Chain A
Amino acid sequence: MAGAGGGSNDVQWCFSQVKGAIDDDVAEADIISTVEFNHSGELLATGDKGGRVVIFQQEIENKSQPQCRSEYNVYSTFQSHEPEFDYLKSLEIEEKINKIRWLPQKNAAQFLLSTNDKTIKLWKISERDKRPEGYNLKEEDGRYIDPNTVTALRVPVFRPMDLMVEASPRRVFANAHTYHINSISINSDHETYLSADDLRINLWHQEITDRSFNIVDIKPANMEELTEVITAAEFHPHQCNTFVYSSSKGTIRLCDMRASALCDTHSKLFEEPEDPSNRSFFSEIISSISDVKFSHNGRYMMTRDYLSVKIWDLNMESRPVETYQVHEYLRNKLCSLYENDCIFDKFECCWNGNDSVVMTGSYNNFFRMFDRGQRRDVTLEASREGSKPQQVLKPRKVCADGKRKKDEISVDSLDFNKKILHTAWHPQDNVIAVATTNNLYIFQDKVN
């Protein structure tokens, strides 16, 4: 099939750009760990294992060349987190950026939250394209002028300069998490945000760094009784009192902060009964939810577990309204995927702008899109081979049984080291960012 996309026309996905090193030898620090568009889609941020954030900006569309959508170029690069050492426990704290979330834009500057395992930081990214010149008591290079030599006064003026993009840390939210932070989510009230680790969720005010409220705590009194952890959390896009968190047992709890200060008791519990015919020792592991995302309209939420993507109607807790199999052919391979730890890979998922299509990653640098309306899905590949400008991506197919057709790939030839964990969709347009291990691919739909 040609492609999956919103609307009545078939979308054909084309290669647009690829960022990152070409050689196969991947430096550990370059491994991309998060990808996120801002609210307008003009900026695209990536975080990596080395604690750096790279922001790409979409150039203003070139009207004379309607065929080619504008490209994303590097806008700012900064070191967000540094490796730390916890001396009391003799443990390293990784600088890897786990999540980036953009704040809604309020003024000329852009703000984002970035977090590693322990610390969240608010960064301000601002442009400077003018500078004041003509001081009375200071030379251009900063040297002070002897006041006695000044004979006339002048008013300093702003003169244009080369665009400089500055990133500065404005807030550091530290020391609130004992366990590893897996999610941050900004509230629709534009004042607060939540951060979630394996066992607790904290509520912060964006301005206050020395205090946070604990709103969920699932830590058992006796740690030996621990059987479930929090895997992801997100605020509702419109209702500032509502958030959800997912668990390693495949449940999603929706909580209302108006109900009580500590939201240990859920308002809704979303759980699909297990299919007894598929039961195995790996059932629990593959039911563990690795990502949860509300739809833009706030009526649905999507969860990603190891083999599937599920869409839930917030009004129905008993089962999802839609289930899409990402790579069902792996069900027979769970034992070896457990052995090589791939079964613990945490794939993310995302919605397109109008909630009609969802996307998630897989192995062998494949990623999948599911068109909810047209009930179609497609598998595409992010690779250098398909990377000529505007080259249309060819749909891929994995052959589960032995009868491999031409152009199909057999399950045993899949490269499980090439995994696409992080993907992002432009909030309005059909532009997607897909992160392989150390490269960022940008695809867009073919403009006719």
Chain B
Amino acid sequence: MFPKGTKRKFSDSREEPVAGGEDVNQSSLAAVRMLSSYSLQRQSLLDMSLIKLQLCHMLVEPNLCRSVLIANTVRQIQEEMTQDGTWQIMTQALSAANAAAQCSADRLVATEVLCRQTEAAQGEQVPKPFPVVGSEGCPAEEVLEEEEAAAAEVGMTMSTVSPQAPTSYLPGTFGMDPCWEEEETGEDDDDDEEEDSEECGSGSEGEERERDSLVEDTRTAEQVFGTFEIKNPAPSPDPALEELFSDVDASYYDLDTVLTGMQSVPKMGPYDLLESLSSHGPSPLSSSTSCRSDLNELDHIMEIIVGS
């Protein structure tokens, strides 16, 4: 009854990634198994949390308590990764990738991963599914562009991944199903579970994605909480309008305007919230809802990309 991977426990002990090096001659499956399950689990939790935060942007009214708790979880993971040193590693890898790929920040890690050669990875022995992708430069960028317009407001790493482009590059060697997909099918096979927990966000690719996710996280936090306040509406509104709204409680505007921006930017009153919404861009409701359904697919793709 539980979806896949639910029997994972968060163990405090961390396996050394170095241990994986000893298995270089074994099958890729065994190599993946040797990776730190803790950091993989942590990665997967981070991914899940970021999705939840983004999804809640699409709801009509966010449950503030839930959003706060999820954001705190993300922050916790982020802090731990900073202490780990994994944060710094990702930052470096990402900035290198950024410079190389010359993609805009909005393209996010999906593009970076697709474009970048996988030797930028830590050298851990993981199956490398994307040499084909890498050698072709950034072919996914064009597809991503369309996707991005629709997914702009989601503003999340995974959302910019095109559902179409990466699949065509999936190599046959990638024998395991990504963990998100497994979870959706709800299989209850213990063996698969173990594979899944290790696949999710493995290695440095996962960390890079994490880094970008965390870049997004800053924006996420801002989106979730930052626009709860009206960015002080300095403009002097039309006195007639002001009079019209004079008895409206100003504190009423303190709610998250991101959501409002999701659905109907132009409906804002004289207190111009467009400023605060500009970072999210206009977003017709339909694209939000289609994004929601695409998110599972996008997650699937992301896991394939970085999960090896």
With the chains together, A336 CA to B260 CA distance in Å? 31
1/0 per residue, CB under 8 A from A, across B174-205: the answer is 00000000010000000000000000000000
Contacting B226 at CB < 8 Å: which of A178, A223, A227, A339?
A: A223
Stretch at the interface among A56-64, A129-137, A278-286: A278-286
With the chains together, A228 CA to B249 CA distance in Å? 25
With the chains together, A426 CA to B183 CA distance in Å? 44
With the chains together, A288 CA to B69 CA distance in Å? 9
The A-contacting residues of B in range 258-281, CB under 8 angstroms, are: 259-260, 263-264, 267-269
Question: Contacts A281-B77, A285-B73, A344-B63 given: A248-B260 contact, CB under 8 Å?
Answer: no
- Given contacts A89-B260, A179-B255, A335-B41, could you give 13 more A-B pairs where the C-beta distance is less than 8 Å? A88-B248, A90-B267, A198-B65, A199-B64, A223-B227, A229-B64, A229-B65, A335-B5, A335-B45, A344-B63, A344-B69, A412-B1, A412-B2
With the chains together, A143 CA to B112 CA distance in Å? 83
1/0 per residue, CB under 8 A from A, across B228-251: the answer is 110000000000000000001101
Min CB distance, B134 to chain A, in Å? 32
Q: How many residues of chain B get a CB closer than 8 Å to chain A's CBs?
A: 51
Interface pair A91/B10, CB less than 8 Å apart: no
Min CB distance, B243 to chain A, in Å? 16
Interface pair B76/A338, CB less than 8 Å apart: no
Interface pair A224/B221, CB less than 8 Å apart: yes
The 3 closest A-B pairs by CB, nearest first: A336-B6, A223-B225, A223-B228
Interface pair A88/B269, CB less than 8 Å apart: yes
Interface residues on A, range: 35 or more
Inter-chain contacts of B2 with A (CB < 8 A): 333, 336, 412
Min CB distance, B56 to chain A, in Å? 10
Interface pair A281/B6, CB less than 8 Å apart: no
Inter-chain contacts of B227 with A (CB < 8 A): 223
Interface pair A117/B263, CB less than 8 Å apart: no
Interface pair A281/B10, CB less than 8 Å apart: yes
Inter-chain contacts of B248 with A (CB < 8 A): 88
Nearest A residue to B249 by beta-carbon distance? A175
Inter-chain contacts of B267 with A (CB < 8 A): 87, 90
Interface pair B73/A284, CB less than 8 Å apart: yes
Inter-chain contacts of A338 with B (CB < 8 A): 45, 48
Asked if B127 CB lies within 8 Å of chain A CBs, one says: no
Interface pair A180/B64, CB less than 8 Å apart: yes
Asked if A141 CB lies within 8 Å of chain B CBs, one says: no
Asked if B42 CB lies within 8 Å of chain A CBs, one says: yes
Interface pair A284/B69, CB less than 8 Å apart: yes
With the chains together, A285 CA to B9 CA distance in Å? 16
Inter-chain contacts of A80 with B (CB < 8 A): none
1/0 per residue, CB under 8 A from B, across A77-99: the answer is 00000000011111111100000
Asked if A447 CB lies within 8 Å of chain B CBs, one says: no
User: How many cross-chain pairs have Cβ atoms below 8 Å apart between A and B?
Assistant: 119
Interface pair B260/A179, CB less than 8 Å apart: no
With the chains together, A185 CA to B266 CA distance in Å? 39
1/0 per residue, CB under 8 A from A, across B5-28: the answer is 111111000000000000000000
Interface pair A117/B183, CB less than 8 Å apart: no
Can you name 12 A-B residue pairings with CB atoms under 8 Å? A88-B248, A88-B269, A89-B253, A89-B260, A90-B260, A90-B267, A222-B226, A224-B221, A332-B7, A335-B6, A341-B52, A344-B65
Partner-A contacts on B (CB < 8 A): 1-3, 5-10, 41-42, 45, 48, 52, 60-61, 63-66, 68-69, 71-73, 75-77, 183, 221-222, 225-229, 248-249, 251-255, 257, 259-260, 263-264, 267-269
Interface pair A91/B260, CB less than 8 Å apart: yes
Interface pair A226/B225, CB less than 8 Å apart: yes
Interface pair A175/B73, CB less than 8 Å apart: no
Inter-chain contacts of A284 with B (CB < 8 A): 69, 72-73, 76
Inter-chain contacts of A336 with B (CB < 8 A): 2-3, 5-6
Interface of A is mostly: loop
Question: Contacts A179-B64, A332-B7 given: A91-B69 contact, CB under 8 Å?
Answer: no
Interface pair B69/A175, CB less than 8 Å apart: no
With the chains together, A340 CA to B225 CA distance in Å? 23
Question: Contacts A88-B268, A91-B60, A281-B73 given: A339-B3 contact, CB under 8 Å?
Answer: yes
With the chains together, A224 CA to B183 CA distance in Å? 32
Nearest B residue to A414 by beta-carbon distance? B1
Interface pair B269/A281, CB less than 8 Å apart: no
Asked if A413 CB lies within 8 Å of chain B CBs, one says: yes
Inter-chain contacts of A413 with B (CB < 8 A): 1
Inter-chain contacts of B249 with A (CB < 8 A): 175
The B-contacting residues of A in range 257-297, CB under 8 angstroms, are: 280-282, 284-285, 288
Inter-chain contacts of A34 with B (CB < 8 A): none
1/0 per residue, CB under 8 A from B, across A382-412: the answer is 0000000000000000000000000000001
Min CB distance, A283 to chain B, in Å? 9
Contacting A88 at CB < 8 Å: which of B60, B64, B252?
A: B252
With the chains together, A334 CA to B74 CA distance in Å? 16
With the chains together, A95 CA to B60 CA distance in Å? 14
Asked if A187 CB lies within 8 Å of chain B CBs, one says: no
Question: Contacts A87-B267, A284-B76, A285-B69 given: A94-B61 contact, CB under 8 Å?
Answer: yes
Asked if A379 CB lies within 8 Å of chain B CBs, one says: no
Interface pair B42/A89, CB less than 8 Å apart: no
The B-contacting residues of A in range 165-184, CB under 8 angstroms, are: 175, 178-180
With the chains together, A117 CA to B68 CA distance in Å? 18
Asked if A231 CB lies within 8 Å of chain B CBs, one says: yes
Inter-chain contacts of B10 with A (CB < 8 A): 280-281, 335
Question: Contacts A224-B222, A340-B3 given: A89-B73 contact, CB under 8 Å?
Answer: no
Contacting A178 at CB < 8 Å: which of B5, B73, B75, B255?
A: B255
Min CB distance, A178 to chain B, in Å? 5
Inter-chain contacts of B268 with A (CB < 8 A): 88
Interface pair A88/B226, CB less than 8 Å apart: no
Nearest A residue to B264 by beta-carbon distance? A90
Nearest B residue to A198 by beta-carbon distance? B64
